[in-house]
Amino acid sequence: MSTPSRITTCAVIALAACATTQRADTPSVKFGQPAAADEIARVDISIPPSGAGLPAGSGTAREGLKVYEQKCSACHGAKGTGKPADALAGGVGSLASKAPLRTVGSYWPYATTLFDYVRRAMPLNAPLSLSDDEVYAVSAYLLFLNGIVGEDVAMNAQTLPQVKMPNRDGFISDWPPRARN
């Protein structure tokens, strides 16, 4: 009868010690400052598949060709053939072959990623320099090169998220993780 009570006492002491240590190690401190909506808006550049956050503006492949030739083709090749940087067009139907070609057209599951990435990172030597119209236009051009949209179809906040990419269903989410090995 004395044993269980002793165990209980020990447990209580252990818990108390634990709680004290916790409090000493992690005091509740707050050093963040409230961030206003307009301040957030200037850095919030990520665009999910829903298209939430896409800005106003629009562009067609015909308009995008000019942007592409001036700012992109030196690294990505004429018509997105690649070299020295990644190929951006072609490869549809190659993914299960011995020589898969993974491009925007053959591999990328969402068109919104194109707008997101071009705006945040391209061109390599001057990211954040393209206007929203230019980003829409060059996105439209790359989709056109891959036969996904017509040359005069405007890409904008409404149309871009609706583009169905050829490999949309080609991915299997591994989160939560499956067993491996």
Partner 1 sequence: MNKKSGRRDFLARGAAVVAGAALMPSARAELAGEPWERVYGTGFTKYGQPSRFEQSVGRHLGQPYGELAPGSGAALSPIEALDGIITPNSVHFIRSHSGTPDIDPKLHRLYVHGLVERPLRFSVDALLRYPRITRTYFLECSGNSSRALTPQPAQVPAGGMHGNVSCAEWTGFPLRVLLDEAGLRPQAKWLLAEGADSAHMSRSIPLEKALDDAMIALYQNGERLRPEQGYPVRLLLPGWEGNMSVKWLRRIKLTEEPTHTKDETSKYTDPLPDGRALQFTFEMGVKSVITRPSSTMKLAEPGFHEISGIAWSGAGRVRRVDVSTDGGRTWNEATLLGAERPRALVRFRHPWRWDGTPAVLLSRATDEKGNVQPPRREWQARYAPDMRFHNNSMVTWAVEADGSVKHVYA
168 binds partner 1, rule: CB under 8 A: no
Instruction: Give me the 102-121 binding string for partner 1, x by CB under 8 A, dash otherwise.
Output: x-x--xxxx-xx--xx--xx
175 binds partner 1, rule: CB under 8 A: yes
C-alpha 32/C-alpha 147 separation (Å) is: 48
Q: Which is nearer to partner 1, 57 or 109 (CB)?
A: 109
Q: Which of 8, 13, 21, 48 binds partner 1 (CB under 8 A)?
A: 48
Using a 10 angstrom Cβ sphere, with 0-12 exposed, 13-18 middle and 19 or more buried, the burial of residue 29 is exposed
- Bond before 123 cis per omega within 30 degrees: yes
Q: Which is nearer to partner 1, 1 or 169 (CB)?
A: 169
Instruction: In angstroms, give the least distance from the CB of 6 to partner 1.
Output: 31
Task: Please give the C-alpha separations between residue 18 and each of 9, 10, 13, 31, in angstroms, as whole numbers.
Answer: 14, 12, 8, 26
Using a 10 angstrom Cβ sphere, with 0-12 exposed, 13-18 middle and 19 or more buried, the burial of residue 105 is buried
Instruction: In angstroms, give the least distance from the CB of 26 to partner 1.
Output: 6
Q: Which of residues 76-95 bind partner 1 (CB under 8 A)?
A: 84-86, 95
Q: Which of residues 55-74 bind partner 1 (CB under 8 A)?
A: none
Query: In whole angstroms, how large is the CA radius of gyration of the chain?
Result: 26
**Scanning the structure block, which residue is given the tokens 């549809």?**
92
What number of other Cβ atoms are within 10 A of residue 101's Cβ? 17
13 binds partner 1, rule: CB under 8 A: no
153 binds partner 1, rule: CB under 8 A: no
| Number of residues that this document lists for the chain | 181
Q: Which residues form the interface with partner 1 (CB under 8 A)? A: 25-27, 29-35, 37, 39-40, 43-50, 75, 84-86, 95-96, 98-100, 102, 104, 107-110, 112-113, 116-117, 120-121, 124, 127, 170-175, 177, 180-181
